[in-house]
């Protein structure tokens, strides 16, 4: 019995010692942790992208941001709300002019409703957006909707200098506007060929979203040639670059640039159920921007060629319906009489595949390709007709069916009065039963807006009782004119005559 107890104790001792040895053997050794401070950006050594020449370059947004920020500005546009029905209100005439009119004239034209006012004012609306400096002497590109109807435009540079801006011109068809401030030696953002942009390419958006000045976001090109039906203009050209770089309210008019800091688009819109960033933003391609800017600077209005056709994008449904054996291109559904397309020999059923050397697969791509040309310019249209490829040269017409460029006189009138003014058409004169006149198509910040309650689509028939036949008459009367003038005319959609006095 005693021997058994001693034996059991020995066994227990051996097991315990063995267990302790095993635990000691497998116990991990104590490790020393070293904390290192990295003085360089890892991405410069680890992440690369490819430039236009196929060369691998470090993916570094810092240098690009530094080069672009100074060329992007903040825009504050102030609109004074005049909830106005156009009237010949005598009180709207500046004091120096009132003594020029007799009592009967005042009674007949300025108090047709017993002197009751037809207008009232409400608090001003202040909008915020962005812009891109494109020339050292102060030209700035932005969206038309940023400054549309604005009575006052303030520009703040990245270094906090502020300026008042004038509107050189605007193009609702592409939602692009051109502003000018009085300054020199400004930093600029260079434009590049947006046709060379590739899906998946890194880009940066620079602007002033939600009151946060000089904000930079990064992403890639998600798609090209997007038409999202956001522009309400009758002749809208939508061929947006789509990006997932964050764009929010206030980014409108800002820059979308590649990693070289070159402008590939003007940020314009977002696709969102909430009104804020939800993954996709859209920018007007720089090639369209450049064409619009060049025209606004030279003519004050955009010179845009047109084919004169109704089109559809080819898809499987259309291919089955029309019994065609091609899956890409633009189907010509109808052709306007006396149009550029009809004159060149294009036919209904032709499928357009290229414009010059640029392939076009959607209606928006075709519209954008044509929109980059002026009336009178020639383009090579490549088509598929009954299964055969051919090229047809086309001389583009203006929307009105000719090759004449819009007049530079319109640009001069814009600078003097703050409005885009054109000659009236014979149809307009016949519809309104008037002999002559010029039409105020669009009013911008300037003398007309500040001093009168005039609306768009006002036809000026007389100035200071002198009959106005055309734009030449208008400019001849305004040139070297001092003091004040009286504009007489009619609206295209409101009955009666209206009078507006201006101090030049």
Q: Give per-residue pLDDT as tens, 221-249.
A: 999 999 888 887 777 889 999 999 999 99
Give the Cα separation of 396 and 382 in Å (integer).
15
Binned at pLDDT 50, 70 and 90, residue 108 comes out as: very low
Residue 262, pLDDT score: 96
Residue 29, pLDDT score: 55
Residue 404, pLDDT score: 65
Give the Cα separation of 248 and 217 in Å (integer).
11
CA 293 to chain centre: 11
Lowest mean pLDDT among 11-25, 146-160, 170-184, 234-248: 11-25
- Find out whether 384 and 329 touch, Cβ atoms under 8 Å: yes
Give the Cα separation of 245 and 217 in Å (integer).
6
Does the reported pTM lie above 0.85?
A: no
Give the Cα separation of 466 and 177 in Å (integer).
33
Q: Do the domains spanning 40-303 and 408-503 agree at the CATH topology level?
A: no
Percent of the chain with pLDDT over 70: 77
Binned at pLDDT 50, 70 and 90, residue 287 comes out as: very high
* List of E strands, 51-183: 56-58, 72-84, 119-133, 139-143, 152-156, 162-164, 166-171, 176-180
- Please say if the pLDDT value at position 45 is more than 60: no
3-state SS assignment for residue 437: coil
Lowest mean pLDDT among 35-49, 129-143, 203-217: 35-49
Closest Cα to residue 438, out of 409, 416, 405, 464? 409
CA 284 to chain centre: 6
CB atoms within 10 A of CB 116: 9
Give the Cα separation of 421 and 456 in Å (integer).
10
Question: 214 versus 111: which is more confidently predicted?
Answer: 214
- Please say if the pLDDT value at position 260 is more than 50: yes
> In this predicted model, what pLDDT tens digit does every residue of 249-258 receive, in sequence order?
999 999 999 9
Percent of the chain with pLDDT over 90: 50
In order of 70, 146, 179, 278, the CA distances from 248 in angstroms are 20, 13, 22, 9
Radius of gyration of the chain (CA): 33
Binned at pLDDT 50, 70 and 90, residue 113 comes out as: very low
Angle of CA points 391, 395, 396, to nearest 5°: 115
- Please say if the pLDDT value at position 38 is more than 80: no
Residue 467, pLDDT score: 93
Q: Select from 3.40.1160.10, 2.30.42.10, 1.10.3720.10, 3.40.1260.10 the CATH code of 408-503.
A: 2.30.42.10
In order of 43, 382, 437, 463, the CA distances from 425 in angstroms are 62, 34, 9, 19
- Please say if the pLDDT value at position 34 is more than 80: no
Residue 482, pLDDT score: 75
Instruction: Give the class (CATH, top level) of 40-303.
Output: mainly beta
Over the range 76-111, which residues count as b (16 or more CB within 10 Å of their CB) and which as e?
bbebeeeebebbbbbebbeeebeeebeeeeeeebbe
- Please say if the pLDDT value at position 416 is more than 60: yes
Residue 115, pLDDT score: 43
Name the CATH topology of 309-395. Pdz3 Domain (2.30.42)
The stretch 261-286 carries a mean pLDDT of 89
* List of E strands, 238-368: 240-243, 255-257, 263-271, 280-285, 309-313, 330-335, 351-355, 358-359
- Please say if the pLDDT value at position 421 is more than 90: no
On average, the pLDDT of the chain sits at 82
Residue 54, pLDDT score: 73
Question: Hey, where are the domains in the chain?
Answer: 40-303, 309-395, 408-503
Give the Cα separation of 160 and 155 in Å (integer).
9
- Please say if the pLDDT value at position 197 is more than 60: yes
- Please say if the pLDDT value at position 89 is more than 70: no
- Please say if the pLDDT value at position 95 is more than 70: no
Binned at pLDDT 50, 70 and 90, residue 83 comes out as: very low
- Please say if the pLDDT value at position 114 is more than 60: no
Active site residues: 145, 175, 252
Q: Is the dihedral of CA 384, 386, 387, 389 positive or negative?
A: negative
- Token representation of residue 434: 């008037």
In terms of Cβ atoms closer than 10 Å to its own Cβ (0-12, 13-18, 19+), residue 480 is exposed
Give the Cα separation of 486 and 93 in Å (integer).
10
Closest Cα to residue 261, out of 46, 42, 44, 51? 51
């Amino acid at each position: 019995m005693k021997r058994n107890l001693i034996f059991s104790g020995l066994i227990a001792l051996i097991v315990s010692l063995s267990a302790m040895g095993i635990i000691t053997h497998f116990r991990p050794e104590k490790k020393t942790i070293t904390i290192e401070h990295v003085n360089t950006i890892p991405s410069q050594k680890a992440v690369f992208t490819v430039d236009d020449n196929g060369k691998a370059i470090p993916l570094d947004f810092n240098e690009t941001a530094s080069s672009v920020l100074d060329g992007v500005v903040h825009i504050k546009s102030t609109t004074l709300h005049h909830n106005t029905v156009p009237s010949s209100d005598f009180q709207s005439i500046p004091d120096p002019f009132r003594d020029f009119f007799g009592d009967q004239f005042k009674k007949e034209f300025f108090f047709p409703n017993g002197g009751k006012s037809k207008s009232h004012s409400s608090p001003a609306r202040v909008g915020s957006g962005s812009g891109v400096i494109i020339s050292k002497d102060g030209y700035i590109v932005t969206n038309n909707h940023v400054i549309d109807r604005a009575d006052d435009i303030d520009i703040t540079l990245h270094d906090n200098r502020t300026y008042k801006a004038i509107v050189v011109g605007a193009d609702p068809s592409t939602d692009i506007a051109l502003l000018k401030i009085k300054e020199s030696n400004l930093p600029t953002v260079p434009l590049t060929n947006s046709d060379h942009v590739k899906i998946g390419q890194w880009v940066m958006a620079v602007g002033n979203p939600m009151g946060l000045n000089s904000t930079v976001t990064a992403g890639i090109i998600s798609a090209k040639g997007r038409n999202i039906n956001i522009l309400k203009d009758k002749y809208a050209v939508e061929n947006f670059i789509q990006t997932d770089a964050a764009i929010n309210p206030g980014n409108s008019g800002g820059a979308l640039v590649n990693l070289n800091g070159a402008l590939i688009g003007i940020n314009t819109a977002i696709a969102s159920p909430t009104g804020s960033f939800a993954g996709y933003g859209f920018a007007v391609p720089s090639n369209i921007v450049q064409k619009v800017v060049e025209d606004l600077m030279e003519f004050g209005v955009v010179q845009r060629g047109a084919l004169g056709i109704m089109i559809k994008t080819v898809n499987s449904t259309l291919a089955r319906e029309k019994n065609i054996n091609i899956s890409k291109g633009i189907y010509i559904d109808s052709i306007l009489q006396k149009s550029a397309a009809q004159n060149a020999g294009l036919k209904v059923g032709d499928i357009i595949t290229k414009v010059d050397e640029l392939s076009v697969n959607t209606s928006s791509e075709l519209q954008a390709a044509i929109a980059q040309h002026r009336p009178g310019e020639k383009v090579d249209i490549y088509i598929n007709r009954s299964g055969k490829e051919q090229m047809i040269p086309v001389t583009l017409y203006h929307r009105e069916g000719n090759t004449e460029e819009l007049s530079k006189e319109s640009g001069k009138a814009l600078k003097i009065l703050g409005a885009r003014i054109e000659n009236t058409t014979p149809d307009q004169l016949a519809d309104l039963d008037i002999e002559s006149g010029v039409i105020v198509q669009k009013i911008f910040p300037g003398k007309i807006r500040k001093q009168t309650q005039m609306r768009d689509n006002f036809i000026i028939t007389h100035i200071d009782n002198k009959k106005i036949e055309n734009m030449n008459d208008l400019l001849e009367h305004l040139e070297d004119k001092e003091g004040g003038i009286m504009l007489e005319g009619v609206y295209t959609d409101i009955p009666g005559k209206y009078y507006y006095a201006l101090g030049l």
